[in-house]
Amino acid sequence: MPAKYSPFEGALKQFEKAANALKLEPHIADILKKHQKVITVNIPVKMDDGSVKVFTGYRAQHNNFRGPYKGGIRYHPDVNLDEVLALSMWMTWKCAVVDIPFGGGKGGISCPVKYMSVAEKERMTRKYVQMIAKDIGPELDIPAPDVYTDSQTMAWIFDEYSKIVGYPAYGVVTGKPIELGGSLGRTQATGYGVAACVREAVKLFNKDIKETTVAIQGFGNVAYYAAEKLYKWGAKVVAISDSQGGIYDKEGFDPIDVMEYKQKTGTVVGYKEVKKISNEALLISECDVLVPAALEDQITSTNAPQVKAKIIVEGANGPTTPEADEILFKKGVYIVPDILANAGGVTVSYFEWVQNFQKFQWDEQTVLNRMEEKLVKAFKDVNATAKKYNVDNRTAALMLAIKRVADAYKLKGDY
């Protein structure tokens, strides 16, 4: 049986490739590939039936040379240290590539979240905050929503942390409800950013977005808003999937209509009796652009040779393994890597944080316009770096990000 793929090993391979291309000083490379702090806590939670269960929680703080640690908290049975280490490192590069003043962090709790009541999740969240309160804060480490956490989760964290410090600490988390200092536009931000990257990539192929077919793996928040924006711009969304399977129609779908169907039935499968496909089949389906927006480790050395898309825009974190990267680069597939493609969310999280300090709320269009400007500039910076060094876009994005973090370190004083 083959060994299970390690996201953190993959993140380290990506880092080392980019650091070597940059000719980064060995001691700085050694600093940047190591986490500054990793926190593990065991959280006792009183369940609704009166029993007490203990769940393991993590918070990995990779690097803060450019600003406070920033990154989501996820609740999932498969949350583990390796995953959190990888995701926190990717967050450092993601913030740097779009040039926002944050470093990288990530957290999570390994728990059967789908089988927990709202009250159980609230008690677990508040206990988690109590255990990591000294390690988070508006100018120290700023969590956000991730897998199976949302604005309500952030409201609990904000409230519990504020009780601990004795004042309303609005900037301690982002992704909060609007009523508690959240930013307008946050819900759509990541998906709209993915769509903007699709549009910019398509331009490089001298193709009109209205003549472009797109297959999207996943139909959660990121995938839906990417699909909605692309459809609005005139692209054909020919494939959509969720955890139960997918649908394909070369004539394209109206994502709003598909979402209404999914909300009624719980899945996209069965929509208008169109062709059913598996998630695996979606990845190698006929399309111009493939958007993997589900989970990590989806495009591997096994299926990469069969990918038909000319452009891949990574809505999810880490959907392509390093081995698959090599295969796709040789095939001439243009990849917009995750640390750029899905950075719309953290960009608007930054805007939320800024608004919290200003005690002022920007209007939605201002937020989304500023986010798109950031991503388009970063897209052009990455593309220019790839051409300059004759490397793939992931390596180029990492080179750009790593250089910015390394420069911050040197300017503060290399010792």
With respect to residue 345, please indicate whether it lies within any of the assigned structural domains: no
Are 137 and 248 in the same domain?
A: no
Of 310, 338, 366, the domain-final residue: 338
Q: Is 106 known to be catalytic?
A: yes
Residues near 301 by Cβ (< 8 Å), separated by ≥ 6? Answer: 321, 323, 324, 327
Task: Answer whether residue 193 is part of any domain.
Answer: yes
Nearest to 95, CA basis, from 347, 352, 322: 347
Whether 219 shows a pLDDT value over 70: the answer reads yes
Domain finish residue from 277, 312, 338: 338
Give the strand order in the sheet containing 141-145.
37-46, 52-63, 103-110, 69-76, 141-145
Q: Are residues 217 and 273 in the same domain?
A: yes
One domain, residues 85 and 219: no
Q: What is the distance, to the nearest Å, from the Cα of residue 122 to the centroid of all Cα atoms in its chain?
A: 24
Q: Give the whole-number percent of the chain exceeding pLDDT 90.
A: 91
Looking at residue 218, what is its pLDDT? 93
Q: E strands, 36-163, where?
A: 37-46, 52-63, 69-76, 103-110, 141-145
pLDDT for the residue 296: 79
Same domain, 213 and 334: yes
**Residues 163 and 60 grouped into a single domain:** yes
289 vs 293: CA distance, rounded Å: 12
Write down the pLDDT at residue 141.
98
- Alpha-carbon distance of 227 to 413, in angstroms, equals 45
| Gyration radius (Cα) of the chain, Å | 21
Q: Is residue 344 part of a domain?
A: no
pLDDT-based confidence at residue 415 (cuts at 50, 70, 90): low
Are 289 and 155 contained in the same domain?
Answer: no
Q: Which of 17, 106, 236, 310 is catalytic?
A: 106
- The CATH number covering residue 286 comes to 3.40.50.720
Residue type, 131: M
Distance CA 235, CA 212 (A): 5
Judge whether 15 lies within some domain. no
DSSP 8-state class, residue 91: H
From residue 276, alpha-carbon distances to 249, 269, 281 in Å are 9, 7, 10
CA dihedral 21, 61, 171, 132 (to 10 degrees): 170
What are the tens digits of pLDDT across the range 166-175? 999 999 999 9
Residues 156 and 89 in one domain: yes
**408 located within any domain:** no
CB-facing half-sphere around the CA of 414: CA atoms within 13 A: 13
Give residue 414's pLDDT.
66
pLDDT tens-digit map of 323-338? 899 999 999 999 999 9
Helix, strand, coil share of the chain (percent; to 5): 50, 20, 30
Q: What is the pLDDT of residues 64-85, one digit of tens each?
A: 999 999 999 999 999 999 999 9
231: pLDDT strictly greater than 90: yes
Does 216 share its domain with 330? Answer: yes
Q: Residue 261 — very low, low, confident or very high, per pLDDT cuts 50/70/90?
A: very high
What is the pLDDT at residue 372? Answer: 96
Residue 102 is part of a domain; what is its CATH number? 3.40.50.10860
Domain containing residue 129: 22-177
**Mean pLDDT for all residues in the chain:** 95
Q: How many domains does the chain have?
A: 2
Q: What is the pLDDT of residue 1?
A: 42
| Arithmetic mean of pLDDT, 360-365 | 96
Taking only the tens place, the pLDDT of each residue in 23-45 is 999 999 999 999 999 999 999 99
pLDDT digits (tens, 9 = 90+) for 82-111: 999 999 999 999 999 999 999 999 999 999
Within a domain: residue 81?
Answer: yes
pLDDT value of position 66: 97
Give tens-digit pLDDT for 264-314: 999 999 998 899 999 999 999 999 999 999 887 899 999 999 999 999 999
Q: What percent of the chain has pLDDT over 70?
A: 98
Whether 376 maps to a domain, the answer reads no
Buried b (16+ CB within 10 A) or exposed e, 334-353: bbbbbbbbbbbbbbbbbbbb
| Domain co-membership, 91 together with 237 | no
What pTM did the predictor assign? 0.91
Q: Give the residue-averaged pLDDT of 256-269.
A: 95
- Residue 255: count of CB within 10 angstroms of its CB: 24
pLDDT tens for each residue of 108-148 = 999 999 999 999 999 999 999 999 999 999 999 999 998 89
The reported pLDDT for the residue numbered 295 is 81
Q: Are residues 82 and 105 in the same domain?
A: yes
Mean pLDDT across 46-60 = 98
Query: Does one domain contain both 117 and 249?
Result: no
Q: Is the residue at 411 inside a domain?
A: no
Co-location of 239 and 317 in the same domain? yes
End-of-domain residue from the set 128, 145, 177:
177
